[in-house]
């Protein structure tokens, strides 16, 4: 494990991550920081806890939408593969006749 520091809204947080995950975690932290700053700019009179909560909900919504899209794509892929398999089976049957 490797110790790193990430910065979100100007505050540093120490984390322990696998070396292979360091770059990814830095990108994730940057994304979270950007989202928090965006909300802070839009809601500058709100306390940081409110801003962080709303930003976290927004990030979670993005995650859920991506998961939904991923499921839909997997379902479409399954249908396409099923059609290809059926077509191949039909083709093989025609050849055998």
Region of 2 please: left (phi>0), alpha (psi -120 to 50) or beta: beta
Each domain of the chain, given as residue ranges in start order, spans: 2-96
Q: How confident is the model at residue 95 (pLDDT cuts 50, 70, 90)?
A: confident
Q: How confident is the model at residue 94 (pLDDT cuts 50, 70, 90)?
A: confident
Question: What local confidence, expressed as pLDDT, does residue 96 receive?
Answer: 85
Reported as a single tens digit per residue, the pLDDT across 10-21 is 999 999 999 999
Record the pTM. Answer: 0.74
* Of 44, 25, 63, residue with least CA distance to 9: 44
């Amino acid at each position: 494990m490797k110790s790193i520091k990430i910065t979100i809204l100007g505050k540093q947080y120490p984390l322990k991550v696998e070396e292979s995950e360091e770059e990814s975690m830095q990108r994730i932290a940057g994304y979270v920081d950007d989202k928090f700053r965006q909300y802070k700019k839009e809601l500058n009179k709100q306390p940081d806890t409110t801003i962080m909560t709303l930003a976290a909900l927004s990030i979670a919504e993005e995650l859920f939408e991506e998961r939904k899209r991923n499921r839909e794509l997997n379902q479409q892929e399954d249908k396409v593969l099923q059609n290809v398999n059926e077509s191949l089976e039909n083709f093989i049957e025609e050849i055998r006749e």
